Chain A
């Protein structure tokens, strides 16, 4: 064990506020009905602010800190050159309302990226507007609805989801007022019989991740596509697991009509501790007229924006999308190229299968067969000693590893969803496997009281939800209750 996270009792900036002498601020320019006489925000010397955030950053684990095998999140190394590119003033200080003649560079990059993503996904057209994968799903479902309405086949309002689907699929369908029909899996794959029974003239779409969240490739995908299409519905590809298929297969080849990408997963734009991301959406040609406006165009000489698209679904966010992330994705794809991207998938799949091979005797991995970029193990055996998956996850922290995704997907008891990604070496994978195995043999007390080497001990999440204190203001209102909350 070599890991010790920094541990500061770092006060809140608001706790360091001092009553400042009355300001002589001239609010003349503000209408008298709206003048604000005081603002209670801290006033600290700049270097104290920098120290505050530097200390806080040292209590944060990122991919640059260590191995981060968070399943379905594809935590690979974020190349530093892409960060530098995104900071150039020609990216950062360019306004989206500028005249197209003054933004030919970024329009070229966006236009080319649309083409590149179309090729990677086997689709015909791409919009870069959605800000994240979930918004890509929202966009995709709006597109499917608009297309079916246009064809005189409106009124379809059911989304079919396998029980392995990501939670966002359910929420995106719900946000649009659609009904969700969940179908059970068979051997960790879509049950074709259940699918056949579920589809009807009410089905708008089946949303599917392939490989699915168990890391298992849906070998019957062509048959799935046939069933869905025969019912007059569209097939949506949840692109969260794209890292598993680059250059090996594509949503278009598999028969999908719509796909989203998560640039912060597959194309390694940094996730920022929770965002930003970008969620471009690719579609087959028949859906192209419905894409959000504006569409980036190129007439052979000049890049432009096309707003005149009568069938468009409109907009899902302001302006063109998370361009500074799309720029990073573009640069990353150029650096990898056709050979590199295929290697990405090959190595990601090799790493996942190798890691599974190393640990499956100690932590069972339900369902047989190959895995793609990730796999799901079960912490069930820990229960005999009075520990659970959550304890094992917290104990991994003491060994310097970020825990995997836990308790998802739901059809595996005590699930540990592990995605090593291609950027990790065999040495790291071996150390991680050794740690997992070691932990299964440790005194369960050590697990239940873990982590011991992080900035804080086990955090009481139940307390946080029972009595939410979400701001300094709320803390002040219930002053004195922090300890007894």
Chain B
């Protein structure tokens, strides 16, 4: 105990720190923690760094994984902005007067997301794309009172599983709709059969899980007798029509591609936006524009009567801590790149995926893309060689191939989902293609 602590105890008339714990009954006390003693900063950094070095990162191993998370180039300014500790060391902006910085930043984030999605309102984030979908399904149930959610079979299995967990409360039924074997897009005949009186919402992704643009979104809108939820890659929205223009009611997505690191899958950032008429049924924190007592523009959290601390068990959601800092990063990324920069990156990604697929398709044992039609930055590859062997051979060649699909999509046979972005160099592509070529 130091002298400061002694002085504080003395002021309270206490003899020891232990006296402050006299209210913990003997029977539930523990003697201490069975952990090693503390380490100095230098040792901790050395130790943790040495463990992390066992990872292979995209820095040293060209990686062609996507499936919702994409390693993009992020300008240093974005990280510099997110490193302002006035932002990152703050709690939720409960006191708007001292939090105008993050409040305005988040209001601008909401504005950017609305422009990209064609929606009127967005919240400041959900945990990730998967929980954004789960919450969208719950919201569709709140709006319509109906209990069926129709979703594409072509979806990441994690996202599908999270949707099922969210469906537990109101007992929602999730109905899967297959994809067209040639195009990889939603099978419209199956969709027509899947929807009905009880449909609360149809969910569709653009680009979809296989990287395909859903060309027939207008047709899907007309088939859906209910709300339409669109899951989007926000970067693709820089060059693809806003879902709002197709009559989407709710737009969700994984916001990571907007300047965030893949972070081994977290933290990520769930995009959530909707039409103005549904705003009061929306989950999550929302920032509004208002005035201060002197009539100047100001921002604050608003519509809090939807939230847990007021509505309690009838709240729209239990979410409070969300992924605010990732939303700040997304806003900064959009601002640094600007509309022109975003469109350039998006188009460059399309071009790269097309060129890469063409190169792979020329190889004897591989077909790419498996599906016809426009792709964003990923595509399905099919192999004549068992894909597990391809996967291992690529790793041995210092390249990480795409996401094996065989287990989850057996109908695609020996297939994998390959993604590419502007981080890849020509040398990376050469290495991948050469490694594929050498597999026997």
Contact = CB atoms under 8 A, between A and B. Distances in A.
Question: Is A bound to B?
Answer: yes
B5 A95 contact: no
B397 interface: no
B87 interface: yes
B65 interface: yes
B100 A26 contact: no
Contacts of B305: 465
A469 B81 contact: no
Interface in B122-173: 122, 124-125, 127-131, 138, 156, 158-159, 161-162, 164-165, 168-171
B303 A468 contact: yes
A75 interface: yes
Given A99-B395, A354-B8, A324 B44 contact: no
Contact of A134 (B267, B319, B334): B319
A199 interface: no
B425 interface: no
Contacts of B125: 275
B83 to A, nearest CB: 8
A89 B58 contact: yes
A248 interface: yes
A53 B81 contact: yes
Contacts of A133: 321
Of B216, B288, B317, most A-chain CB atoms within 10 Å: B288
A79 B42 CA distance: 13
A30 interface: yes
A43 B315 contact: no
Contacts of B261: 92-93, 324
A457 B296 contact: yes
Interface in A262-279: 262, 264, 270-278
Interface string B217-238: 1100000000000000000011
Interface residues of A, number: 193
Contact of B68 (A217, A318, A456, A472): A318
Nearest to B40: A335
A324 B35 contact: no
Contacts of A461: 96, 290, 300-302
Interface stretch (B14-22, B194-202, B362-370, B427-435): B14-22
Contacts of B30: 122, 247-250, 253
A298 to B, nearest CB: 13
A139 to B, nearest CB: 9
Interface stretch (A80-88, A374-382, A438-446): A80-88
B313 A324 contact: no
Contact of B158 (A122, A248, A315, A358): A315
Interface string A452-475: 001111111101110011111111
A35 B41 contact: no
Contact of A460 (B111, B298, B350): B298
A124 interface: no
Contacts of A471: 107, 110-111, 113-114, 120-122
A388 interface: no
A306 interface: no
A224 to B, nearest CB: 11
15 contacts: A12-B111, A33-B217, A92-B57, A95-B265, A96-B266, A109-B51, A177-B169, A262-B321, A270-B89, A272-B326, A276-B325, A461-B300, A468-B121, A470-B121, A470-B289
Q: Which 3 A-B pairs have the closest CB atoms?
A: A272-B325, A319-B265, A96-B265
